[in-house]
């Protein structure tokens, strides 16, 4: 689908969620049924948010693992050291894993905020 609405492109740039951008671009033109770009964005956004809540999907598994790791490290204040022969490398790996976990959680939060902004504008997704 060719995205022509500048507001949709602006919202996609704010969220920076690659899967959502690809889903919008790959959305078949014949399935739009006269819906605006904003409505298609609301549908796709609500779909991805629902994927985080469904059990067994890669999004929900990654999100749960990320939340568990953040709790385990007490918000980055206490990192586990696995390799005592080289603690610096182990600490660097733990910090990198913590950053990836934070990125995953922030990605979900940006999606939820986008969904809220779209709902405030009157665009409700099908998977709400």
- 74-99 residue pLDDT tens: 988 888 888 788 889 989 999 999 99
* Predicted pLDDT at 3: 82
pLDDT at position 120 over 80: yes
* Predicted pLDDT at 39: 93
| Residues with Cβ within 8 Å of residue 118, at least 6 apart in sequence | 11, 38, 41, 42, 45, 124, 125
* Predicted pLDDT at 66: 95
pLDDT at position 128 over 70: no
Per-residue pLDDT band at 15 (split at 50, 70, 90): very high
Report pLDDT digits (tens) over 27-70: 888 888 888 899 999 999 999 999 998 888 899 999 999 999 99
């Amino acid at each position: 689908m060719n995205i022509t609405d500048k507001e949709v492109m602006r919202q996609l740039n704010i969220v920076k969620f690659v899967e959502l951008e690809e889903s919008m671009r790959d959305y078949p033109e014949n399935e739009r049924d006269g819906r605006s770009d904003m409505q298609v964005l609301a549908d796709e956004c609500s779909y991805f948010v629902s994927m985080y809540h469904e059990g067994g999907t890669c999004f929900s598994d990654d999100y749960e693992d990320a939340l568990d790791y953040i709790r385990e490290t007490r918000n980055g204040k206490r990192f586990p050291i696995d390799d005592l022969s080289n603690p610096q490398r182990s600490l660097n790996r733990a910090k990198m894993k913590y950053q990836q976990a934070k990125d995953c959680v922030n990605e979900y939060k940006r999606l939820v905020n986008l969904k809220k902004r779209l709902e405030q504008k009157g665009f409700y997704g099908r998977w709400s």
